[in-house]
Structure 1
Amino acid sequence: MTDTGAMAERVLGAITYMVLATADADGTPWATPVWFAREGDDFYWVSRPGAQHSRNIAERPDVSLVVFDSTVAVGSASSFYARARAGLVPDGELAGGVAVFAAECDRQGIGAWTVDDVTGDAELRLYRASITAAWVLAEDGGPDRRLDVPWPAT
């Protein structure tokens, strides 16, 4: 039996960028890579509110995402796929969200982040995608075959 939760954690622990797929009010798709930090079911990133994906999220909060290693040989990739609800982190939850984001930044030597970096006159805002369903790519080297991951994460 395949432990899909462990497979998901291996991918999520090794990769720091996700491809975020959004759509505007008319359904026109947009995909963009974003650097993320994660805690449990929540993925955090910073972005400008005027960026296409941020505007799309404001109109349609349902998103999908994929995390994968694009440097491996064909047929040997491990991938995590998910559906999620995304949006700006509410003011009352900013301290906790920034703490998660700042801890990952610190772990990777990127620099300190505070609530002041995503409020007031700051260019960037903190966003969150909360996973509602997840899958991993089967690691048997066969054709594209996704396996359910029990979610929420345990």
Structure 2
Amino acid sequence: MDGGSEDSLADRTRRVLAEAGYLTIATVSADGTPWSAVLQYAWLPDPLRLLFGSAVQSRHSRHIAARPRVGGALFVTGESLTSVDGAQFTGRCAELTADEVRRFHATFYDAVLPDPQSRAQWTLPPAALLPPADHRLYLIEVERWWLVDTRTWAHDRIDRRIEMPLAELKVA
């Protein structure tokens, strides 16, 4: 998408969040080894937060337990090079508490399994997302957010980012 179009950064952010479907999260182990994982997600506004589910023994979950700072990216494909869009972010990530699991359970599964039959088949009950179970829901509190800035890409082929002030991201 043309970063100089009439679409505001907030409109583009909402589009990327709604259409990407998957995010890539980057983590670092206690000893400094990097890792990335592709995950389904749901997003929450005001302030921007991202929910995802994962096994507690996954590499990224173990990294988050040791170092909660994460980075990530979302990407939306398009018909041409100038119609793609995406975002990158940094933030803090943690397992949801029992109260938060109950609060966000339906939000997460409604987003990642929009088909009611699939949702009925694949949704884990809240108890399966709490200790000592093998799975958890996680929440990323987004601290900084950048969008692909392609305003001059067609001219110089330099891939840039433009920071979206999160205070400007309000859901109508």
Give TM class, smaller chain. Answer: 0.7 to 0.9
Indicate how the Cα distance of structure 1 residues 106 and 19 shifts in structure 2: closer, same or farther if over 3 A, else same. Answer: closer
Number of aligned positions between the proteins: 154
Give distance in 1, aligned partners of 2:25 and 2:58. 13
Structure 2 partner of 1:7 = 12
Give distance in 1, aligned partners of 2:140 and 2:79. 26
Unaligned segments of structure 2, at least 5 residues: none
Letter paired with 2:68 = P
Give distance in 2, aligned partners of 1:67 and 1:86. 16
Structure 2 residue matching 1:46: 3-state secondary structure: strand
Task: Work out the percentage of aligned pairs sharing the same amino acid.
Answer: 25
Structure 2 partner of 1:66 = 73
- Normalising by structure 2, report the TM-score: 0.79
Give distance in 2, aligned partners of 1:34 and 1:105. 10
Give distance in 2, aligned partners of 1:35 and 1:10. 16
Give distance in 2, aligned partners of 1:105 and 1:61. 23
- Structure 1 vs Structure 2 CA RMSD: 2.1
Q: In the alignment, is the contact (CA less than 8 A) between 2:57 and 2:134 conserved in 1?
A: no
Deviations 1:60-112 (A, max 9, x none): 00001100035764454211111110010112211112121122144244314
Correspondences of 1:122-137 after superposition (within 5 Å): 122-137=133-148
Indicate how the Cα distance of structure 1 residues 19 and 106 shifts in structure 2: closer, same or farther if over 3 A, else same. Answer: closer
Give distance in 1, aligned partners of 2:64 and 2:88. 18
Letter paired with 2:147 = V
Indicate how the Cα distance of structure 1 residues 93 and 50 shifts in structure 2: closer, same or farther if over 3 A, else same. Answer: same
Q: In the alignment, is the contact (CA less than 8 A) between 2:22 and 2:39 conserved in 1?
A: yes
Indicate how the Cα distance of structure 1 residues 31 and 73 shifts in structure 2: closer, same or farther if over 3 A, else same. Answer: farther
Give distance in 2, aligned partners of 1:88 and 1:138. 32
| Structure ID, larger Rg | 2
Structure 2 partner of 1:97 = 104
Letter paired with 1:149 = M
Structure 1 residue matching 2:32: 3-state secondary structure: coil
| Structure with greater helix percent | 2
Structure 2 residue matching 1:100: 3-state secondary structure: helix
Structure 1 partner of 2:149 = 138
Does 2:25 align with 1:20? yes
Deviations 1:42-71 (A, max 9, x none): 111111111000000000000011000357
Give distance in 1, aligned partners of 2:152 and 2:132. 49
Unaligned segments of structure 1, at least 5 residues: none
- Normalising by structure 1, report the TM-score: 0.88
